[in-house]
Amino acid sequence: MKPAPFAYTRARTLKEAVTLLAKHKDDARLLAGGQSLIATLNMRLSAPELLIDINGIKGLDGIAKKGKFVEIGALARHAQVERSDIIAKHAPLIALAMPHIGHPAIRNRGTFGGSIAFADPAADLPACLLALGGEIDVAGPKGKRKVKADAFFKGLFETALRPQEMVTAVRIPAADKNTRVGFAELARRHGDYAIVGLAASARANGKGLADVRLAFFGVGATPVRAKKAEAALAGGDIDGAVAALDLEPHDDVQVTAKVKKYLAGVLLRRVAKQLVEPQS
């Protein structure tokens, strides 16, 4: 299929992009890597009148350690993040997740900000951001604001972004010697969206764990934290954490809800092992 006709413009600055968004509201869509948007246009799931290409906006693709945080610009490509020394050293959960996102061709074009804004419930990066307690920088015609990951993912492909706003960067706590992270997903083939996935972070606390955050994806309308399981895991009880898994997945085209819940338990055991073993 081909997309419905649309107009195209390139925004040269952030201000220009948000001014255009404010003017055209729901009739416009930002174009970043195009890896999700172009598919939805071609399938006519979306038919905006105007595409605003943001790829020419300078300064939105940086990856930097700023004090106790790592900041990733919205236009940083997945491939750039995957190869970044800063990410490898200071954001090990993101480094673990990156190779699972699609295939190299998709990672060459897809952007971090695009993935967060699109908020596919089976996507890897929204769950990582949630697991890390990250923050999203948002810009609109009235200025900038920050939204915590816990408050950003609102529903199926729905976020806290207002129609005239865009994501400019995300910020996550930089890992230190007490940081523990874990990541696992089950997909039919490597590179497919996950049937079920789990991104997790915690702090080493003596021989145990503290601040456990388990963010499952592919099991609901958004990435979801399993808070009862988090509490059990912090107490060192892996069997108890699996038994307490507070998830309510639905059947989808791949598997039933019952199978998803079972697979979530399998992933939890794998990730729990990663969390208790210090990362090298």
Ligand X SMILES: Cc1cc2nc3c(=O)[nH]c(=O)nc-3n(C[C@H](O)[C@H](O)[C@H](O)COP(=O)(O)OP(=O)(O)OC[C@H]3O[C@@H](n4cnc5c(N)ncnc54)[C@H](O)[C@@H]3O)c2cc1C
Q: Comparing C-alpha atoms, which of 257, 74, 94, 270 is closest to residue 174? A: 94
Can you read off the two tokens belonging to residue 140?
């609109």
d(CA 240, CA 242): 5
Burial zone of 142 (CB within 10 Å; 0-12 exposed, 13-18 middle, 19+ buried)? exposed
Q: Per CB under 6 A, does 197 bind ligand X?
A: no
Among 18, 20, 30, 229, binds ligand X (CB under 6 A): 30
Contact characters 83-102, ligand X, x per CB under 6 A: -----------------xxx
Piece of 25-33, 147-155, 172-180, 266-274 that binds ligand X (CB under 6 A): 25-33
d(CA 133, CA 140): 23
- Min separation Cβ 241 and ligand X, Å: 25
d(CA 45, CA 148): 29
Piece of 33-41, 234-242, 254-262, 267-275 that binds ligand X (CB under 6 A): 33-41
Kindly state the number of chain residues that form the binding site for ligand X, as judged by CB under 6 A.
30
- Whichever of 77 and 90 has its CB closer to ligand X, that residue is 77
- Min separation Cβ 258 and ligand X, Å: 23
- Min separation Cβ 218 and ligand X, Å: 10
Q: Which residues bind ligand X (CB under 6 A)?
A: 29-37, 39, 74, 100-102, 106, 110-111, 113-115, 117-118, 120, 123-125, 161, 166-167, 193
